[in-house]
Chains A and B, each alone.
Chain A
């Protein structure tokens, strides 16, 4: 929202310097995006009198002028009369006129913001010296006209007291010696009134602690005269969505460029002049924040104007020359034959005011903000009018605005009111809010009296009845954002200044904060994986369908975004492993030959809903890791498993079950989790009956799809089953421990865990000793693959006696005997 300080000053006094004002606006109104000093742009442009204009001796289209700048510009070549010679190509240049001169060394205003602004000089044109230039409207960035130079009409109204005399600054006369403050629109989402200079001026008064008085055209209810000069059938056929619809016909207008003051005012507020009628409708909007529109009366078929819902399939070509197919949710303005405008957003091409227009219809309407927003989103149309309407313009301001609109149109054009001002509206009462100084003070930490609060609010034209224990507020009609006492708290706090509130920390008791147990688990895993050389990564929560299919997961089970930025980010993840696989090759190519990546993430699957909250999808928090080595050739599985064990913890009771065996009993999500893993070289981890994750190598198809080295393996666990790793302590013994190694030869198909648990069970039977088992090796001779030798180191300890070797030997003998009996093992 561009705020012109000159415009604001029409409505209220500004007692602050520009920099103080900017700071105050920032802290009490809204964040400032940009400050534009239009004066910088026009600082050298001077109004001059063309004293003579004669044909250029060597060029038909050029004239050599002598201009009077009142002697204002130094260091410029002058003739004996003190006049400056400027060559001009404009057909309208003539002796006696006032024009705008851009002297040498000045910047052409239209190029001021360019990377390479155009700086004028003194140069010869076809052999005649020319000092700077006489400017056309487009060169001054106040219009598109390049047909001729801008002519200053000294008799026309202008916003300053200055006389049009040779050498006076153009910007000073036409109010372009301005500072324009651009406030972020987002600040005003709930403030329809702040999209007009009037509303901002009111706030600027309020934050300067001075009372604001709305101009009479905004405070004294207007009366309209009846007229039937033109026939106009005025209707509102959609009162549900169009709370107020005012129209009037004006006869005998003359469409032409606006007077200069109006053009300059529009430029200062960030708009651009088109023609007097359109300019006035825009000007009124920029001042009041109420969008208005003008139609060519003679183009309205059946002399009719109405607001109605569009028919489904109805088409409409708008001013942007694009044709839109409408639905019955769109509000249109229509004549007797069809739509002539998309309500509140853009007028139609078939009713546009043009050079040939002589009669017009003016509209000041209020539309349902939600309906307009939907229409705008559906058609991708965003206009200044929409920006204002979709904040919820007050339907109580239309008559004031209509009166000002009519008056201003008739100021810039001949014409007369030619129909009744029709006004179709629903009654709406002004909002009242009851609160108290105590309520407000409690929420702001202040100690204001009712009267002090009342003063802050009446400064911005709230009606306030204040007593010691209550404050009753009647909200001004332009404020559609205030209905709760808390809204009044905001108003008071802002006008008082939030930065001035007493800053005190809340008091708290010494009650300890409960630790988040899940986060402690996560933190434990993070520190152990990192300690073992793995790198934590973050990857997107959304993946390309290909990442899922490469991992042989089923994309049909994944939640899919309907408005993804690109196909790369289309699907929610079924598990985290595929994302890590997707990042592996890239890092190998970057020169890392051996690494481990891990990530904490959330897995989702369609129809898997949360147990605690069945209306939302279940989120399985998992930790996934991959480890890879470009050169290694042995089984990466065992590396991944070692890492997995650090995650699973020593204390947890878990089982490692070959994936091949577990595959048929997996749940639907677990099936997707294990999908990329090679069944012959992976295991699932089970806690009780629950499968909590998988560790293993990847299927051949997955490896080749992701270009993974042969030595790649990984794991992924559902973290809800994981617990913090706790150390377990055994008291130290006074007696030394005894260590012996034991090798057992078993059938090649005997699983390690079968032997291990047998050894463990047997050792546990000897209650007089505490034994620990460390696997040493699994050996298989190349010439005998029918058997393998598994070696353990067994350490025995007693708390009651010094163990002798023979005690341990008999212990191991019992193990060998059990292994021979159960697994047909022999001692190696």
Chain B
């Protein structure tokens, strides 16, 4: 057993013993804890610091447990949980309605979803933990391909049944294979597959005012007979015009994604300054907004759809940025801060 496992094993024993102890402070006198400290000198010098820190952390944890156990037990007398109110107390009244707020990102997710729903798209949710098959393989990312680097993906220590680590999806396309399969029967009925997935994604990226490791994206797919790249551009342009309630221009530039061919990025004419240049568009007149393309034949095949008969398009659009631009939010980190000072400004 290595030193780290040893600390973990001792910790487990001591925590179990703590629960059963009458006199909780006795746990601090446990001989196992002293034995751990005694082992330090016997270790290789480079191992000592880490091992020492681990023992100290354990010791502190136990001290905290003892301290909280020793504090007077206020108000923890049993209550009748089946009653609607406490003894001699009125039925509690709710907080003032005007304090309530919906998270601005969620409000936007609903707004976007509403537009797509009116355009004929079903709404699906994504996952927060997935396997590499759905995140990469089913999306035509070759194994070990450098394209996998572009999505600095969080991975778990734990592995799936194929010995691959689970991932925190870096884009909601992780649902694409499932969505295509779920609606594949539409095609035989002459109906398109049309769905959007607005949800949370993760990138291993350092935090600053413009970068979040956790953010929201709306992925969309549309598959039918005779779908072409011009329809992709038209559909997104129509969506953006509806969203901004004005006619916007869009332009594309070629890009590379393994899961689409051809692939582009799309920019829209700045809806805040009509291309004159303003702070929102960094005086460019255009705002880079989304990645999109025609679904790669291998991705269709992975969902048992015949790419010679059906074609389709897909896109991924960041939601956080839309909300920031719309409300003039200066720091993306506010979104996940749970600060009421921030949230209560969105109580309309």
Contact = CB atoms under 8 A, between A and B. Distances in A.
A31 B265 contact: yes
Interface stretch (A74-82, A181-189, A722-730): A181-189
Nearest to B90: A777
Interface residues of B, number: 122
A16 interface: no
A737 interface: no
Nearest to A775: B84
Given A535-B100, A540-B336, A752-B80, A604 B128 contact: yes
Contacts of B78: 660, 680-681
A810 interface: no
Interface in A684-704: 695-697, 699-701, 704
A224 interface: no
B341 A590 contact: yes
Contact of B253 (A30, A489, A542, A681): A30
Interface string A100-133: 0000000000000000000000000000000000
B92 A530 contact: no
A191 B255 CA distance: 11
Contacts of B129: 559, 572, 604, 616-617, 619
Nearest to A391: B146
Contacts of A426: none
A260 interface: no
A373 interface: yes
A162 interface: no
A493 B252 CA distance: 12
Nearest to A594: B95
A176 B128 CA distance: 51
Interface in B44-67: 61, 64-65, 67
Interface in B68-92: 68-69, 71, 73-92
B95 A533 contact: yes
Interface in A507-537: 508-509, 511, 513-516, 518-519, 523, 526-527, 529-537
A486 interface: yes
Interface stretch (A399-407, A441-449, A800-808): A441-449
B87 A779 contact: yes
Interface in A666-680: 678, 680
Contacts of B147: 189
Given A583-B338, A700-B71, A187 B255 contact: yes
B65 A751 contact: no
Contact of B261 (A486, A535, A700): A486
B240 to A, nearest CB: 13
B143 to A, nearest CB: 8
Contacts of A658: 81-82
B216 to A, nearest CB: 9
Interface stretch (B26-34, B198-206, B270-278): B198-206
B255 to A, nearest CB: 6
Interface string A602-626: 1010100000000111010100000
Contact of B101 (A442, A536, A540, A586): A536
A515 B113 CA distance: 11
Contact of B131 (A374, A541, A565, A615): A615
B101 A535 contact: yes
Contact of A681 (B81, B88, B307): B81
A157 B113 CA distance: 64
Interface in B95-110: 95-103, 105-106, 110
A168 interface: no
Given A504-B230, A602-B128, A606-B158, A443 B168 contact: no
Contacts of A680: 76-79
B125 A519 contact: yes
A156 to B, nearest CB: 40
B85 A616 contact: no
A503 B251 CA distance: 12
A587 B89 CA distance: 27
Given A506-B231, A701-B65, A560 B214 contact: no
Contacts of A664: none
Interface stretch (A21-29, A49-57, A245-253): A21-29
B348 to A, nearest CB: 11
A27 B154 contact: no
Interface string A719-759: 00000000000000000000000000000000111101000
Interface string B253-270: 111100001111100000
B329 interface: no
Interface stretch (A147-155, A273-281, A346-354, A636-644): A636-644
Contacts of A701: 65, 68-69
A188 B256 contact: yes
B311 interface: yes
B227 interface: yes
> Chain A, interface size: which category?
35 or more
Interface in A374-392: 374, 377, 390-391
Contact of B123 (A519, A639, A642, A775): A519
Nearest to B253: A31
B172 to A, nearest CB: 14
Nearest to A512: B120
A778 B87 contact: yes
Given A31-B255, A777-B85, A562 B155 contact: yes
A705 interface: yes
Contact of B103 (A538, A563, A602, A779): A538
A369 interface: yes
A656 interface: yes
Interface stretch (A6-14, A136-144, A310-318, A494-502): A494-502
Nearest to B150: A186
Interface string B139-175: 0000111110110001111101100011010000000
Contacts of B256: 186-191
Interface string A174-200: 000000000000111111000000000
Contact of B228 (A374, A443, A487): A443
A682 B335 contact: no
Interface string A472-484: 0000000000001
Contacts of B133: 615
Contacts of B84: 638, 641-642, 752, 775
A587 B338 contact: yes
A58 interface: no
Contacts of A825: none
Nearest to A573: B128
Contacts of B149: 373, 377
Given A186-B150, A442-B226, A530-B100, A563 B231 contact: no
Contacts of B338: 537-539, 580, 583, 586-587, 597
Given A508-B192, A535-B343, A705-B68, A374 B87 contact: no
Which residue of A445, A751, A775 has the most chain B CB atoms within 10 A of its CB atom?
A445
Given A490-B261, A595-B340, A642 B91 contact: yes
21 contacts: A373-B146, A442-B311, A486-B262, A489-B261, A489-B262, A490-B262, A504-B234, A516-B124, A527-B102, A532-B100, A535-B340, A538-B336, A561-B157, A569-B213, A586-B339, A596-B95, A616-B134, A637-B81, A638-B92, A752-B82, A778-B88
Interface of A: 26-31, 186-191, 369-370, 373-374, 377, 390-391, 442-445, 484, 486-487, 489-490, 493-494, 498-499, 501-506, 508-509, 511, 513-516, 518-519, 523, 526-527, 529-542, 549, 559-565, 569, 572, 580, 583, 586-587, 590, 592, 594-597, 602, 604, 606, 615-617, 619, 621, 627, 633-635, 637-639, 641-643, 656, 658-660, 678, 680-683, 695-697, 699-701, 704-705, 710, 751-754, 756, 775, 777-780, 788
Given A443-B294, A523-B110, A590-B340, 20 more contacts: A187-B253, A189-B146, A442-B311, A443-B228, A444-B229, A501-B233, A506-B192, A509-B190, A530-B102, A533-B95, A538-B335, A538-B338, A633-B75, A638-B91, A656-B82, A678-B76, A681-B81, A699-B76, A752-B82, A780-B88
